Amino acid sequence: MREQDPSERIHNFSEVALGFTEEMVKTEVERCLQCGDPKCVDGCPVNIDIPEFIRLIKENDLLEAIRSIKNYNILPAICGRVCPQEIQCEKACILSKRWEPVAIGALERYIADWERKNQLKECPDCEAPNQIKVAVIGSGPAGLTCAADLARYGFDVTIFEAFHKGGGVLVYGIP
């Protein structure tokens, strides 16, 4: 993965790991074998249909790729950066038995960054409001994911946060 040059990064707070370029993505999606029984999905804690979103990237249908991911994970830009893919989905990738696994996390990050760069805000379909109010305590990744899942099922969700800014560990814990 590309990295910001040290001579530049000592003067800013931008990300060090810059993610994949379009060319790197094109090369990486070709490596996916589109397994009939994809173990990478079993290795993913939220069961993202990994072969599906990789196939959609390969077909250059990036909008459907982000929709596919968000059916399972509402925060792909975060997970693409901080999820320990190397011990989960990538470890389960069949290629990892002999070679480097498909860089699933980098592909997830790429598609999430594409969504943001294009100012899109894809959301999974939601059920009709059910008029039931629910409080979620904490606005870190777990609280936000919980709130999104509840809203998706029609609940009227209010998030409460003890700190001045929302985001939990994303704001106060990850440098």
Domain range summary for the chain, segments of one domain joined by +: 2-118, 133-173
Banded pLDDT at 46 (limits 50, 70, 90): very high
> Considering only CA atoms, which of 116, 173, 170, 118 is closest in space to residue 145?
170
Mean pLDDT confidence for 127-140: 95
Q: Which residue has the tokens 């609280």?
A: 143
User: Are 114 and 61 within 8 A, CB to CB?
Assistant: no
User: Are 50 and 44 within 8 A, CB to CB?
Assistant: yes
CATH 3.50.50.60 at 2-118, yes or no: no
Which pLDDT score, from 0 to 100, does residue 120 have?
A: 92
100-127, pLDDT tens digit by residue? 999 999 999 999 999 999 999 888 888 9
> Considering only CA atoms, which of 77, 59, 169 is closest in space to residue 121?
77
Mean pLDDT confidence for 154-164: 95
> Considering only CA atoms, which of 26, 28, 33 is closest in space to residue 59?
26
Which pLDDT score, from 0 to 100, does residue 175 have?
A: 63
* pLDDT at residue 87 is higher than 80: yes
User: Are 70 and 76 within 8 A, CB to CB?
Assistant: yes
